[in-house]
């Protein structure tokens, strides 16, 4: 089923794609207003929710309860060093096959997955 996006949804999706980072709904609302693409806050929330259900926007909820939105990026994972903050991209997706298996076994359409590794890089190791 192909969903018809509203103009505000298109506007927000395009904005998130150029932004290349996560943003809260409140900040997104302020950024759009600064860019003279003003949308009501309720419209921003509704559009984000619709885009999330479509699988083109992903949301991450922080421990503080705040939700951060970003456009779904290509399948890419990182090793993040907790000491220097360096993020090393991994060439291949380690769970690509698993995703295919899960989709098949559960008749579930997977939109995206997240996978992050944290630790200490070789330069930080004593």
Binding site residues, Zn ion, CB under 5 A: 75, 81, 83-84, 86, 93, 121, 124
Query: In whole angstroms, how close is the CB of 23 to Zn ion at the nearest point?
Result: 22
Residue 71 backbone dihedrals phi, psi, to 5 degrees: -75, 150
Q: Residue 17 or 113: which CB sits closer to Zn ion?
A: 113
Query: In whole angstroms, how close is the CB of 113 to Zn ion at the nearest point?
Result: 6
DSSP letter, residue 92: S
User: Residue 44: how many CB atoms within 10 A of its CB?
Assistant: 22
Query: In whole angstroms, how close is the CB of 62 to Zn ion at the nearest point?
Result: 22
Q: Residue 30 or 93: which CB sits closer to Zn ion?
A: 93
Q: Residue 10 or 75: which CB sits closer to Zn ion?
A: 75
């Amino acid at each position: 089923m192909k969903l018809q996006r509203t103009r505000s949804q298109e506007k927000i999706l395009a904005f998130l794609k150029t932004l290349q980072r996560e943003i809260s709904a409140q900040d997104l609302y302020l950024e759009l207003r600064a860019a003279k693409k003003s949308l009501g806050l309720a419209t921003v929330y509704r559009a984000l929710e619709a885009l999330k259900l479509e699988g083109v926007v992903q949301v991450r909820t922080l421990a503080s309860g705040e939700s951060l939105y970003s456009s779904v990026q290509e399948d890419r994972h990182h090793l993040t060093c907790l000491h220097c903050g360096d993020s090393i991209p991994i060439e291949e997706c380690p769970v690509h096959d698993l995703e295919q298996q899960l989709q098949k076994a559960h008749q579930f359409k997977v939109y995206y997955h997240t996978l992050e590794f944290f630790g200490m890089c070789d330069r930080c190791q004593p």
